[in-house]
Amino acid sequence: MDIFFNVLGVVFLWLAVEYCLRRETAQSLEDASMVPFADDPEVARRVELATGKTVKAVAPEIAKPGWINLDM
């Protein structure tokens, strides 16, 4: 009986993931995989050189007058 519930759980998980990703294209999934590197231009350049894929990097935020940017 335990094996049946384990298999049922795996099938349910697989169907849930398939349902959530049903509208995603290969390009949108590839773009999503590059998002973690987008906020650091230096790392984005290294990833582009290593993978050959374009990373849409954003410029680091400039300190506004009267505000303090903290490095965390």
The answer to whether the pTM exceeds 0.75 is: no
Distance CA 34, CA 14 (A): 24
- For residue 14, give the DSSP letter: H
Query: Which pLDDT score is estimated for 62?
Result: 72
Residues in the chain: 72
Query: Which pLDDT score is estimated for 71?
Result: 65
2-61 residue pLDDT tens: 999 999 999 999 999 999 999 999 888 888 888 887 788 888 888 888 888 888 777 666
Distance CA 48, CA 68 (A): 31
Query: Which pLDDT score is estimated for 5?
Result: 96
Domains of the chain: which residue ranges? Answer: 23-60
